[in-house]
Structure 1
Amino acid sequence: MKKFAKGFFVGALATTSAVAGTLFSFKKKVVDPVEDRAQKLEENRKRVVRKQRSAHQG
């Protein structure tokens, strides 16, 4: 019975760490680039608005 319990806990730990690694890599590969792109677009939008307002001051 001790072998079963030890194996169960080791397996559960391995599964948990595999899921955590998968989620971390998904975040780095998919979520972060999307957020970076959205932030760059927002900065560009703000820059365009500033330029438009300054061009029409005349």
Structure 2
Amino acid sequence: MKKFMSGFITGTAMTVATIAGAIYGVKKTIVEPIEEKEQQIEDNRKKAMRKSRAR
């Protein structure tokens, strides 16, 4: 029974680590580039508003 529990706990920990790694990878490859692009667009809007008022 001791071997079973040890294996079960190890397997559970590995599964959790794999899922966490997959979520982190998706965040890095999909979510962050979208957020960076949105921030860049917002910065460009702010610059355009400043330029239009300066003229």
**TM over 0.5: same fold?**
yes
How many residues align? The count is 55
Alpha-carbon deviation of 1:42?
0.4
Mapped pair 1:33 → 2:38: no
Structure 1: any 5+ residue segments left out of the alignment? none
- TM-score after normalising by structure 2: 0.96
Letter in 2 for 1:3: K
> Which residue pairs with 1:9 in the alignment?
9
Question: Which runs of 4 or more aligned residues in structure 1 lie more than 3 Å from their structure 2 counterparts after TM superposition?
Answer: none
Query: Normalized against structure 1, the TM-score is what?
Result: 0.92
Identity across matched positions, percent: 42
Specify the structure having the higher radius of gyration (Cα). Answer: 1
CA deviation vs aligned residue, 1:2-50 (integer Å, no higher than 9, x gap): 1110110000000000001001001100110011001000000000001
- Quick one: distance in 2 between partners of 1:22 and 1:13? 14
CA distance in structure 2 between the aligned counterparts of 1:40 and 1:2, rounded to whole angstroms: 56
* RMSD after superposition: 0.5
